[in-house]
Amino acid sequence: MLPISILGASGRMGRNLIEAVVNDAQTQLHSATVRSSSSMLDVDAGELAGTGKLGIALQTQAEVELEQCAVIIDFTLPEAVAANLEWAITHNTPIVIGTTGLNAQQLATLHAAAKHIPIVFAANYSVGVNLLIKLSQQAAKIMGDTADIEIIETHHRHKIDAPSGTALALGEGIAKTLHRDLAKDAVYGREGHTGERPQQQIGFATVRGGDVVGDHTVLFAELGERIELTHKASSRMTFAKGAVRAAKWLINKPAGLYSMMDVLSLNDL
């Protein structure tokens, strides 16, 4: 059984990750961490996640011994990524990172860390979303030079970054396919007298409300017809299961930065 440590275990995704690890026949929970100021310290991880008592209390990272841990899974906050990567490097432990909203400096730290340990980093660990990215790239090859491309995403009211990491990953995949620079061609919302839409634009629209787990649509609009590719997530468990799948795949991989496209072999299609 593969021992996995969960960082940020008290959050919504952390609880789903604990459940996914416990319910996977090939993995087991090694440890689960929270911040030193958390009111959840010393709470049983299984009771927190609703899987039944596991005898594993929530700890701070400083209290965790990683020697018997095979993989770390980190779905925390952007400002914690650098310290979490340093912790993983110190213990020579592979890490799966699902934190979104990283800035340029944090991304640079991630790339530097990948020279020392194997890392899977993805904006979204859903199998369906990664297939959506691939399908969007294939559609872009055929329609991208003439269609207007728009990406619409909807999430719950508590999400703190916009557009979502998944929406940006969709845009980056399309831009790469079309040999465009997303930094120049992206438009994040429109207001007022905007003038006629340039064809090369890749538009993003963000909706926030209620408890929506995550909806993403990529629109390729031609004159007279359009293609809409949509993925809707109804449970965070799909992301947790994908992260566990990535953790299992990462074992014995050489140092480097990998994506869910690598995990799912979608780059070979």
Q: Kind and range of the H or E element at 247?
A: helix 237-250
Residue 22 C-beta-side C-alpha neighbours within 13 Å: 21
Token pair, residue 188, equals 């994040």
Instruction: Decide if 134 is catalytic.
Output: no
Best CA proximity match to 247, nearest among 258, 236, 238: 258
Give the separation between CA 135 and CA 165, rounded to whole angstroms. 18
| 63 within 8 A of 9, measured Cβ to Cβ | no
Residue type, 105: Q
Instruction: List, as one string, the DSSP characters of 85-120.
Output: HHHHHHTT--EEE------HHHHHHHHHHTTTSEEE
Verify whether residue 53 is a known catalytic residue. Answer: no
SS3 144: coil
24: amino acid identity, one letter = D
Please give the structure tokens belonging to residue 126.
């859903």
The one catalytic residue among 116, 159, 248, 253: 159
Indicate which residue of 155, 216, 231, 241 is catalytic. 155
**Secondary structure class of 131 (helix, strand, coil):** helix
Element (H, E) at 7: strand 2-7
What residues are annotated to the active site?
A: 155, 159
